[in-house]
Amino acid sequence: MRALLRSMAPPVLGLGFSLVAAALLLLLLGEKTTVLWEALYNSCLTDFGLGYTLFYMTPYLFTGLGVAVCFQCGLFNIGGEGQLYLGAIAIVAVASVLPNLSPWFGIPLGILVAAGAGGTWGGIAGWLKAKRGSHEVIVTILLNFIAFAIVNYLILYQFDNPNSQSPETLDVGPGYRIASLSSLFGALGLSLFDSTPANVSLFIAIATAFAAYFFLFHTSRGFALRCVGKSIRASEFAGISVQSQTLLALALGGAFSGLVGINEVMGSQHKVIEGFSPQYGFTGIAVALLARSHPLGVIVSAFLFGVLQNSARELEFLSDKVTKELAVVIQAILIGFVAAQAVWGKPFLRWLSREKKR
């Protein structure tokens, strides 16, 4: 319990510090700090705000897992952004080939192709790293550009909606739609999260996090993957194939990121809009860092980033001095504090416990 508290303390303190920093920032802009608390309150504790927070949380959870599983293997997956677009367009593609499936087949198929498309993209990076020794950071970054180009081409020339002025695809059929949370609770006679895009993908994401946890910490293959992340030499002497673990980790990471498509396409928009992601893939790196690459921690940190994302929206609405970019600044401060906890975390904890003793 104490150990858990100690490991939780730096991220929580980092969050606290970044809120203080955000408040100071608002003061500098000549805004009352109360709007910050109001925005936070709205996005955490109101029905409507929480609905949006949970909607934003879902993609962060997927991309956070996509980065975390690679971190566990000692790999840096920066390809989440490309992987998630490919996952999304893959659902549209399969929906256009098999438009009239029943939800019993359409939804599992959609989930499968989203994971498959992202997983293939991650797997390419893994294969290049394992067989050719190409650095995964460079490969995943470059693969992002290729993915963007492919997806934009497909949106504009293959699956485009001729009745729309904006670059977006046709809607997927009803067999590929995941229920929203409001309709789910509505069926139970509750009025929750009405007119918010939060949908059942959230539960799939949480289940995925638990599955990833079970895989990494309770299976032989997951153990082998973590060994490679800790020591390549020791893994070789233990008879673990570093190459196949590398391939596996990046393919899994890609698959998790690809699942973002189900929240966007099957859960809310029912189509792919060009540039729908506010860089979920890149922010996923911060989500994983905050969670220290623990799959269950990713659930918590994805929620926090959902809150941040939504609070930024609220702030923009509540104050005319604050822009969306401020949220990015707050996020950056938070990431900075968390990433630098090696520098300030331990001394700070020591200082705290010394205070207590007196």
Task: Kindly write down the DSSP assignment for every residue of 26-73, as one continuous string.
Answer: HHHTT--THHHHHHHHHHHHSHHHHHHHHHHHHHHHHHHHHHHHHHHT
Smaller CB separation from other proteins, 68 or 114 = 68
Smaller CB separation from other proteins, 165 or 354 = 354
Residue 149 CB-half CA count within 13 A: 5
Closest separation in Å from C-beta 6 to other proteins = 14
Smaller CB separation from other proteins, 161 or 244 = 244
User: Facing residues of 199 across strands?
Assistant: 180
Residues 201-240, one symbol each (x = binds other proteins by CB under 8 A, - = not), give -----------------xxxx-xx--x--xx-xx-xxxxx
Smaller CB separation from other proteins, 97 or 357 = 357
Closest separation in Å from C-beta 284 to other proteins = 23
φ, ψ dihedrals at 77, nearest 5°: -95, 100
The C-alpha atoms of residue 217 and residue 254 are separated, in whole angstroms, by 20
Two tokens, residue 178: 């995941």
User: What size, in residues, is the chain?
Assistant: 358
Smaller CB separation from other proteins, 240 or 302 = 240
Closest separation in Å from C-beta 219 to other proteins = 5
Smaller CB separation from other proteins, 226 or 270 = 226
Q: How many residues bind other proteins (CB under 8 A)?
A: 16
Closest separation in Å from C-beta 244 to other proteins = 11
**Residue 346, interface with other proteins (CB under 8 A)?**
no
Closest separation in Å from C-beta 238 to other proteins = 4
Closest separation in Å from C-beta 250 to other proteins = 20
**Residue 133, interface with other proteins (CB under 8 A)?**
no
The C-alpha atoms of residue 66 and residue 157 are separated, in whole angstroms, by 29
The C-alpha atoms of residue 136 and residue 269 are separated, in whole angstroms, by 32
Smaller CB separation from other proteins, 218 or 357 = 218
The C-alpha atoms of residue 256 and residue 205 are separated, in whole angstroms, by 9
**Largest Cα–Cα distance of the chain, in whole Å?**
72
235-264 binders of other proteins (CB under 8 A): 236-240
Instruction: Look at residue 168 and give its three-state secondary structure.
Output: strand
Residues 175-204, one symbol each (x = binds other proteins by CB under 8 A, - = not), give ------------------------------
Please, are residues 280 and 81 in contact by the beta-carbon 8 Å criterion? yes
The C-alpha atoms of residue 340 and residue 346 are separated, in whole angstroms, by 11
The C-alpha atoms of residue 208 and residue 210 are separated, in whole angstroms, by 5
Smaller CB separation from other proteins, 47 or 236 = 236
Angle at 233 between CA 228 and CA 236, to 5 degrees: 75
Closest separation in Å from C-beta 90 to other proteins = 28
Closest separation in Å from C-beta 226 to other proteins = 8
Query: Which residues form the interface with other proteins (CB under 8 A)?
Result: 218-221, 223-224, 227, 230-231, 233-234, 236-240
